[in-house]
Amino acid sequence: MSKVPYRGSCFCKGIQFSLAAEPRACANCHCTYCQRSSGAPFVTWAVFQKLDLAMEDPSALLRWCQSSEFSKRAFCGSCGTLLFFESELCVGELHVTYVSVEGLAQKPKYNCFVDQKVDWVTLESDLIPLSSDSQELGHYRKVQSLSTPE
């Protein structure tokens, strides 16, 4: 049974939101942008439409950071939680950090950009691996991997 609308928030709960649909897809992203912007080895994303989102940000805490030529990421300006991703490469989509949403029924189906993953991360065999040159990653293949810090 669907739990729509889903509720979500950042760590400090200064930003809350609801999502009026099931995600179109869920995936782990191992790309270097997700690694470096989150400080974690990979990020699990749930893909929604921007139209599905209703924001509750009474203290105007949400901050957007241009993370590449095409894309931007949103964080809570108070607690730092990474919440959203938007890109010219997928107009109309809103990617939401999976664990910021309560009770999603759908589990991740893909491991994306596996060729960029941290080498000690072990991939679950029931998820479909997609490398940087996979057709399924479509327009995202335009984005060059970040070089590793010296």
Catalog residues that contact Zn ion under the rule CB under 5 A.
Answer: 10, 12, 14, 29, 31, 34, 76, 78-79
Question: Of 11 and 51, which CB lies nearer to Zn ion in the complex structure?
Answer: 11
Question: Of 2 and 27, which CB lies nearer to Zn ion in the complex structure?
Answer: 27
Please report, for residues 21, 30, 48, 51, 99, the alpha-carbon distance to residue 112 in angstroms, rounded to integers and kept in the order given. 23, 6, 17, 25, 17
Nearest to 30 by CA among 114, 134, 124: 114
- Residue 61 beta carbon to Zn ion: minimum distance, rounded to whole angstroms: 6
- Residue 5 beta carbon to Zn ion: minimum distance, rounded to whole angstroms: 20
Rounded to an integer, what distance in angstroms lies between the CA atom of residue 111 and that of residue 89? 19
- Residue 14 beta carbon to Zn ion: minimum distance, rounded to whole angstroms: 4
Question: Of 4 and 102, which CB lies nearer to Zn ion in the complex structure?
Answer: 102
Q: Which residue has the tokens 């964080």?
A: 75
